[in-house]
Amino acid sequence: MENKAMKKVFASAIAAAMLFSVMLTSASAAEIICWFPPDWSSKTQQAQDITKALSDKTGLTIKPQIAISYPEIIKAFSSTSQNLVYVGSFVQAIIKAKDLGTALVQNIDGKELYSGVLVYIKGRNPEDILKNSPTEIAFAKAASSGETAAKAATGGKANLARASHAEACTAVVTGRAQAGVVKNWWWEKNKDKFPTLDMYKIPGISIEKNPDNILTASKSIPADIQAKISAAAIASSAAFGAPKMAPFDQSRLAFPLELMKKGHIDPKNYTF
């Protein structure tokens, strides 16, 4: 009798172990969604190239998803499903503050760090504008180089949210704003489109320390899978359009979070 009982216990233990192994395998093999920001709607092919490269090199099923809005990304990262996101410092700062994920790797292309700079009508005094018209400064909403920098420069008073850097500049040109705050690299590329505007680097704010183009994993992705994805991303620089992909320096998120604090932006309760 004892022998039969022992056999039953042993068989049950083996069955349980096999079930646990299957569960672990299923969890590891679960489909992973890789999110891209809304402005990637014009870069669907690259999004597909990135996820294909990651899938091929890891053996995982990783599918691209271009977000309609940023809250979609935050909602996904707040769930128990497995998610990645390839995005800049504003959303990354929120993910960091909410402890929703781990930044893995960054695109190193010479413009991996950026700042917000003030644009204003030529001939005017930018310091006077900041001092006397802080509420009349336009910025791209949900951008470290826009909203965060503008609010940090004005103690949270900048109030003219726009959908993009181009719209912020247009607001200045048309007189709907006294000045605007835009991404430095964007301004260098587009300044000829706004010949009536000049640029000013805001002391303590216009510092190239906001990290861009970071691949981050949600906390629901196990550490060993995160490591596989990191290695795959580093080996897939061509898909990312990068000269180099490198492990992300976690300390780089300190600056955008510091600017949020200066601008009275609460990353844990931010409303897009």
In 10 A of CB 94, how many CB atoms? 25
Whole-angstrom Cα distance, residue 60 to residue 78? 21
Look up residue 239 and give its two tokens.
């898909």
The last residue of a domain, from among 200, 221, 253: 200
With vertex at residue 171, the alpha carbon angle to CA 152 and CA 178, rounded to the nearest 5 degrees, is 55
Residue 4 belongs to some domain of the structure:
no
The last residue of a domain, from among 200, 231, 254: 200
Q: Are 51 and 174 in the same domain? A: no
Residue type, position 149, single letter = A
Q: Are 215 and 196 in the same domain? A: no
- Counting the structural domains of the chain, the total is 2
Query: What pLDDT is stored for residue 5 in this prediction?
Result: 47
Q: Are 100 and 227 in the same domain? A: yes
The last residue of a domain, from among 180, 200, 220: 200
Whole-angstrom Cα distance, residue 156 to residue 230? 36
List the one residue out of 182, 180, 185 whose CA is nearest residue 134: 180
CATH code for the domain in which residue 55 is found = 3.40.190.10
Range of the domain at 257: 30-110+210-262
pTM of the model: 0.87
Q: Are 181 and 57 in the same domain? A: no
Residue 93 belongs to some domain of the structure:
yes
Helix, coil or strand: residue 228: helix
What is the pLDDT tens value at each position of the chain, 272 positions in all?
444 544 454 444 444 444 444 344 444 457 999 999 999 999 999 999 999 999 999 999 999 999 999 999 999 999 999 999 999 999 999 999 999 999 999 999 999 999 999 999 999 999 999 999 999 999 999 999 999 999 999 999 999 999 999 999 999 999 999 999 999 999 999 999 999 999 999 999 999 999 999 999 999 999 999 999 999 999 999 999 999 999 999 999 999 999 999 999 999 999 99
Q: What is the CA radius of gyration of the chain?
A: 23
Residue type, position 59, single letter = G
In 10 A of CB 272, how many CB atoms? 13
Q: Are 159 and 221 in the same domain? A: no
**Rounded-to-10 torsion of CA 194, 198, 202, 203:** 150
Q: Are 125 and 193 in the same domain? A: yes
Query: What CA–CA distances, in Å, run from 80 to 32, 100, 120, 219?
Result: 11, 10, 45, 8
Query: What pLDDT is stored for residue 26 in this prediction?
Result: 43
